[in-house]
Amino acid sequence: MKRILGLSMAVGMLGLSSALAGTKSVPTPQALWQEIQILQKNHAIMPESRLFQVGSRTVDAFTTDLANPAAVQSIAQAGGIIHVSRYADHSLLVKENYGMDKQLTGVTAMLKLSKYDAGDRNWVMAAYKPNGTVVAFGKIGSCIACHTMVRQQDFVFAPPPQQLLPVSTWKAFFPKQEMNPAYVALLQEHPEVVVK
Ligand code: HEC
């Protein structure tokens, strides 16, 4: 884990990936943002998520997950997020991050595209500022390094309090960010759901 981290953080923090070149069906970051906005307008909340659930850090003290119909269907067919072994092509999952004051601080997304990144389950990873400015897009090593902890769920976590990550993991990826006290409390209440 440690060894993967150094490399992936370095790659991830570079932001816009050049991995897009030559791949025909990959949307532009702007086109993906349009898709995300449609989910936002339709309040397309991901199954098992809810509005303003507890997030891990003060930058995402509250989160809301969204999902498009392909992803919703994958979850329904499997009987829940923890039972999904493969998401359907073009599944789109989104996490809206809100600060302690419930102001939107950022949006992350993952789009399933067949043949995009076979070694890492073909997810296009993306991060945006609240106004749609692209922060990172493509095969983002840091996103993948953490989401691979739930490889058996095809890289998609169940929202808190169903699955939680230990403080040490959050600190390894985001050393400068403060934990959300409500999340730390969840960890104490539900030690059995911590992903290893
Ligand atoms: C340190 C671990 C970690 C890192 C790094 C990380 N995530 Fe996540 N992510 C999580 C956890 C845990 C959840 C579940 C919490 C929730 O749904 O609110 C999550 C949720 C999500 C979701 C909603 C779908 C799901 O898996 O529940 C998306 C989309 C997402 N992350 C995208 C990204 C992107 C894009 C990046 C990189 C810019 C990233 N994540 C970096 C841990 C991480």
State pTM to two decimals: 0.90
Instruction: Say how many CA atoms lie within 13 Å of 77 toward its Cβ.
Output: 11
Task: Give the fold, CATH level 3, of 2-157.
Answer: Chalcone isomerase (3.50.70)
Domain boundaries, the chain: 2-157
Counting every residue, how long is the chain? 196
Pick the atom of ligand 1 nearest to 165's CA: 12
* pLDDT tens, residue order, the chain (196 aa): 444 444 444 343 433 443 444 445 899 999 999 999 999 999 999 999 999 999 999 999 999 999 999 999 999 999 999 999 999 999 999 999 999 999 999 999 999 999 999 999 999 999 999 999 999 999 999 999 999 999 999 999 999 999 999 999 999 999 999 999 999 999 999 999 999 8
Q: How far apart are CA 109 and CA 124, in angstroms?
A: 8
* Ligand 1 lined by 138 (C-beta under 6 Å): no
Of 14, 39, 110, 134, the residue with max ligand 1 atoms within 8 A of its CB, to mutate for a pocket test, comes to: 110
